[in-house]
Each structure stands twice: as structure tokens, then as C-alpha cells.
Amino acid sequence: MGLRRCCCMLAIVLAYGLWLVPPETALAQQGKPAVAGSLPSTNLSNDVSTDPSLPRPAPGFANARVAGNPLAPEAKSVGMKTCIACHQLEADHFTHTLHALGLIAANKADPAIPVCEACHGPGSEHAKNPQAKGLIIAYTKDGGTPIDVQTRTCLTCHAGGPRDHWLGSVHQRNGLSCSDCHNPMAKFSVEGSMAKQSINDTCAQCHKDIRLQFNRRSHMPLPEGQMSCDDCHNPHGSLSSGSSLTSFPLAKTNTVNETCYQCHAEKRGPFLFEHAPVRESCLNCHTPHGSNQNTLLVAPVPFLCQQCHTQQRHPNDLQTANSLMTGKNPDERIMGRGCLTCHANIHGSNAPAGPRFHE
């Protein structure tokens, strides 16, 4: 009891002493060098005098600088007002975008931060000769700016993350630029500065054949708005080459199965009895976008199963005219769901009596 009373008295004395010392005195005792040394380092400082009443720009836009244009090395920066003098319509569209909000706010806090020239490069030569191509970084096919210059300018700020594998990707090899999918000059989409209203519409500009597959009777829920192309693909590049059944172009994961398991986790296993084609690749039996067969199958059952199981236990007469449901002697093994009527757990089984995936 005496020890507990002593501890309580000591805590009260310490709290009273701290209360008597004002915060200013405590900071003064540390000294400014000690306080500065305890703070994390930043890169937000600059030598340009700014209005102290304005908020500091966001770190991403505070690092914006005039883009380099190799086709106009002698050009000088002219500022946003000079650009708006000719490009009023573009400026009106640009006003409502994320880039405009960030860059204009940063420019007000620090006049050294460019707005238009952060993406288009210095505009003095372009202002002197507006008809000459290449004097300003243009993001169009006929603007005179090479595609590698366009993408390099965008990656100055947007490097890293999903764009780490852009160089060498199938989109980069086919000559696509950022502006083929994105339009930062107008707000067409809710997010991502897409060139169309949605990610799916943007991808469908080129991949019309894939988009049509989602109109088949069995399809992924993309038309219903429950998923988008970037749920499975990374349009900015991938480590996967897409050269076999186990991988596909612009994959977000290392293998086909890992991508499918993001939603179909119950198929992951491990199972006591594995089905070899399932473990190898989901594409052995399923097509990923849409199919006219049940559950995205590449062929109807039992013909899908008999691509591999032609001489095991069941004879190949399941495919004859007489054994089909419309034949003279229909076989009960292909009625209803065909092979799946008995072999229900075709993706794998944990039942002790399930080596044939009956349970």
C-alpha cells in the first residue's frame, strides 16, 4: 500500500512540474538547430519570393518545370497569358481538369512554376511561327512532335507505379502515345483523364473485336459496369510476354490463374486432388471475355472434356449421332450437364473419395 501511494505522489509531482513549464520555454531550451534537425527533410523550398498569404502548392505540381523540346532548343518560356491569347477555346476546356487546378494553384503560389509550358515546352519560337510543326510539343499524330518525346514528357511527372514497364510494352512497340488514351486538356471521364467517357470505351477504340465478345450470351460483367479492362490488364506495360497459355498481354499479375483468382478465390485451392489442366491455366477450358457456351467455356460439354479424355473409362461413342440427346439411343452420361453431372468438382476436390472429382 505504501509503495502504491509513493508512485502516485511521484506521478502527481512530475505532472505538476510539466504543467508549470510553458511550451515556449521548452522549445527555447531545445534551440532552433535542434528543432530543425528533428524535422524531416523537404524539397519544397525555393529562392523565388512568393505571397505568404497564398497556400503552398501541392508537392507534385510544385516540382513542375518547363518541358524540354529537342526540336526547339533555343525557345524561351513566355507564360500562360501569351498562350491563352491565341488558344482561348483550349483554355476554356482545360479549366475544369485536374491538371489545370493543380498547375494554376501552384503558379499562383510560385510564379516560377509553369502551366501550359510544363507539358508543351517553351513557346517563344511557336509564338513567332505558329504554323511551323515541332516548335511546340504537340500531342497529335500530325503535330510534328515524335511520339517518344510526347511520352517522355508525360513520364517526367507520371513515372513509376503502373507505368514502370511502359518501355518495351506492346502498346509502346505499336507506336501509341499517352494522348491516344488520355486527354488532360478536357474532362471527358470521371477519373484518369481518359480520352473517352470510361476506360472500357477508351480501350474499345482499338480493341473492337474484344469489345464485341462481351455481347455473347456468357460474358464477364463488363457491359453491366461491374468491372473494367484494367481489372485484368495494365495498359502501361507488363512483365508478361503473353506468349503461352500461362500468361497474356499486358497482364496485371504474373500468370493467367493469378489474375482469375483475384475474383474466383474459391478456385485457388490447394486441393487434395488437383485437375492438371485447371492448375496449368484457366484458358485451357475458359475464354476470358465472352463465349456462346455456358460459363465462358471454349467448347460445349462433353466435347470439351473429350479433347483430353477420349480413351479413359468412357468410350468415344459419346459423340456419335445415336448417343446424343436427339439420337435414337441417348446416353444418360451426356444428359443435363454432360460430364459435369457426375464430375461436379472439376476444378479440384478435397473429398477423400474424390479422385474422379465426383465430390
Q: Which domain holds residue 123?
A: 60-196
Find the mean pLDDT for residues 307-312. Answer: 74
Give me the half-sphere count of Cα atoms (radius 13 Å) on the Cβ side of residue 340.
14
List 286's β-bridge partners, or say none.
Answer: 297
- Domain end, chosen from 137, 170, 196, is at 196
DSSP 3-41: HHHHHHHHHHHHHHHHHHS-HHHHHHHH-HHHHHHHSPP
Which range, 80-84, 306-310, 321-325, 352-356, has the best average confidence (pLDDT)? Answer: 80-84
Helix, strand, coil percent values for the chain (each to nearest 5): 40, 5, 55
Q: Categorize the per-residue pLDDT at 324 as very low, low, confident or very high, splitting at 50, 70 and 90.
A: low
| Residue 17: inside a domain | no
Find the mean pLDDT for residues 242-265. Answer: 87
Q: Categorize the per-residue pLDDT at 192 as very low, low, confident or very high, splitting at 50, 70 and 90.
A: confident
- Domain end, chosen from 164, 196, 228, is at 196
Let me know whether 173 and 284 are in one domain: no
pLDDT, one tens digit per residue, over 37-78 is 555 554 444 444 556 666 666 667 888 999 999 999 999 999
Let me know whether 171 and 296 are in one domain: no
| Residue 39: inside a domain | no
Let me know whether 185 and 275 are in one domain: no
- Domain end, chosen from 196, 219, 238, is at 196
| Residue 169: inside a domain | yes
| Residue 150: inside a domain | yes
Count structural domains, the chain: 2
pTM score: 0.73
Let me know whether 273 and 192 are in one domain: no
Q: Categorize the per-residue pLDDT at 3 as very low, low, confident or very high, splitting at 50, 70 and 90.
A: low
Let me know whether 167 and 288 are in one domain: no
Question: What's the rounded Cα separation, in Å, for the pair 212 and 204?
Answer: 9
| Residue 116: inside a domain | yes
Let me know whether 178 and 68 are in one domain: yes
